[in-house]
Amino acid sequence: MPEKRKIPFDILDSVRGIASLYVAIAHCRGTLWIGGSEFSKLFPRNTWNVWDYFMVGSSMLTRLAVEFVIVFFVLSGFSIAHSLAVNRSPLQFYKRRFIRIYPSYVVALIWAGLVFVITRLWHPEWYDGSLTNFAFVRTNEMNNYFDGTMMLKNLFYVPDLGLTIKEAFPKPEQHFMVLFVAPGHGFITPFWSLTYEVIFYLMAPFILRRVNLYALLSLTLFLINFILPDKIWSLGLPLYIYAFLFVFNIYFAIGVVIYKNYNKVAGVFQSISKRMLLGMIALIVIIMYAVNIYFKTETVYSFMPSALLGVALIGYFLKYNLRIKWLMGVGRFSYTLYITHLASVFLYLSIYWLIVKPDTPYILNYFVWVPAVFFVLALAYFQYWLVEKRTKNILNLLRRKAAKTN
């Protein structure tokens, strides 16, 4: 296990705030505006004015939702390494993780189901198959939400249990280009990342006993898939096993290694000026956008700079003891925000439909999505206050009792 480091972890709530807020904004814009490619089909570029260019150009700034989840993975590796350095008991670790994440998770599942029931009552056409594009791909995916088998799978974080890599990506090259989860799952589509978080949590008390070996194996599996993707695809592995071992585990490992070698890493950051560090962060973000736009989707090539961004943000905020109160505030309920926001976006969309009664399934008004950001933040904070804040208080009580015992 890595040795315990003296790190003010509350500062990292700012990084969580950045990542969760970006994902929420991206899904608000992606659900509540037509999107650049579809806009171009309706309105040829030679007819655009300055505002049209602004809308399409600025909308492209919200295309890195999956890449910012990679930042979360790096943060998770860093944080879990610290948690196990403080208390190495697997049973105690599992107990803390369960209290920390599962009550909020179940409430988020209930919230998604409630929004499904409400929106199906208000807008049955969303679910009858007559609308198959734009945001309504997600509504159609909700039709089996209350099936017994699906409910059970969702309760255990495995909606795609039994799906193989070949079934998820019939063409060998696809699994290298689109590396997260397939198919989507309606209002809980963002939950895809939680499956890999939970797999990491289950393994962490054991694999972190030999951090160097864990890091070496993680890098080896990642490189094998990077160099020989067709060979790995031909194995026909279960999707979750493939995706964790060969795609996502490396980013958790990066966070763990950064924690283990934190004093050395902090020393490197101390040698870099603030201006240069900010320039590096800006360059990494530019590379993320450039790669994503070039491939027209998220890929391993945009995931790699995303991991670097996670490391850079951790180093920057800790080096300067940077405490941005409002961002830290968002970071405190970032978990609830992440797991509830998409359902809230669709509730917002349903209210919009009730008021506006649109003639088309798409939205051309670029300003519709902006208030949705505050709408989902407000609903997420209420659910945080209802559940997550209370589970945090329970954990703090357990920690104080453990400290007195020791």
**Radius of gyration for the chain, computed over Cα atoms and rounded to the nearest angstrom:** 21
Condensed to tens digits (0 to 9), the pLDDT of residues 305-320 reads 999 999 999 999 999 9
Alpha-carbon span 90 to 87, nearest angstrom: 8
Tell me if the pTM is above 0.85. Answer: yes
Alpha-carbon span 18 to 68, nearest angstrom: 9
- Residues whose CB is less than 8 angstroms from the CB of residue 375 and which lie 6 or more positions away in sequence, other chains included: 344, 348
Specify the amino acid at residue 182.
Answer: A
> What is the secondary structure of 317-339 as a DSSP string?
HHHTT---HHHHHHHHTHHHHHH
Residue 27, domain member (yes or no):
yes
Which pLDDT belongs to residue 128? 94
Mean pLDDT by groups of 10 residues along the chain of 406 residues: 77 96 97 92 94 95 95 97 88 94 98 98 95 88 96 96 85 54 80 96 96 97 90 90 94 97 94 96 98 90 96 96 95 97 98 95 94 98 96 88 69
Residue 212, domain member (yes or no):
yes
Alpha-carbon span 119 to 353, nearest angstrom: 10
Could you give the number of structural domains in the chain?
A: 1
Residue 237, domain member (yes or no):
yes
Alpha-carbon span 161 to 240, nearest angstrom: 8
**Bridge partners, 238 (sequence order):** 164
| Domain interval for residue 256 | 9-405
Which pLDDT belongs to residue 10? 92
Specify the amino acid at residue 389.
Answer: K
Residue 4, domain member (yes or no):
no
Residue 290, domain member (yes or no):
yes
Alpha-carbon span 340 to 352, nearest angstrom: 19
Which pLDDT belongs to residue 181? 45
User: Look-up: residue for tokens 């998820």?
Assistant: 168
Condensed to tens digits (0 to 9), the pLDDT of residues 207-260 reads 999 999 999 999 999 999 988 888 888 899 999 999 999 999 999 999 999 999
Residue 291, domain member (yes or no):
yes
Residue 96, domain member (yes or no):
yes
Residue 274, domain member (yes or no):
yes
